[in-house]
Amino acid sequence: MLFKRSESIKIYLLPEQEKQISPKERIKSACAEPGIFAFDIFHNEYLVGFVMVREYEKSEYFLWNYAVDHKFQNKGIGTRALLEFIEFMKTSYNMKVLTTTYIWGNEHAKHVYEKIGFTQTDVVDEPDCHEVNMVYKCE
């Protein structure tokens, strides 16, 4: 996989999948903010995904937006891309910790994160927020 710095999300998601990430306008504006790192993900020269992280402490990042183009889903590319992205961040940005959240009930996200090695830290269950917090500690 190849990770190229990005200024916006360019992949296509189904409408129900777009609800799982930030709005495109927010992603575009965030890409210009300090401490935000966004990348287009290429596999065999095809644009297959998008990933955005935010550094919140030295060597600690939050996986803010991660998605695979709908044409490349359910082929193992998303899992492989995330594993390779973690290695890329460890070697290129000295990442030690990666945290993320997923919306409660998104079993696919839960499965991918747990398969990679993320562990659940807690659940946020408030009137407008039902998320599961997870962490991946780099060895």
Structure tokens at 135: 């962490």
The model scores a pTM over 0.85: yes
| Per-residue model confidence as pLDDT tens digits over 76-107 | 899 999 999 999 999 999 999 999 998 888 88
- C-alpha R_g of the chain: 14
CATH number 3.20.80.10 is the correct assignment for the domain at 2-137: no
Determine the pLDDT at residue 104.
81
CA angle 68, 94, 98 (to 5 degrees): 45
* pLDDT over threshold 80, residue 135: yes
Pick left, alpha or beta for residue 10 (phi over 0 → left; psi -120 to 50 → alpha; otherwise beta).
alpha
How far is residue 57's CA from residue 66's CA, in Å, rounded to a whole number? 20
DSSP assignment letter at 8: S
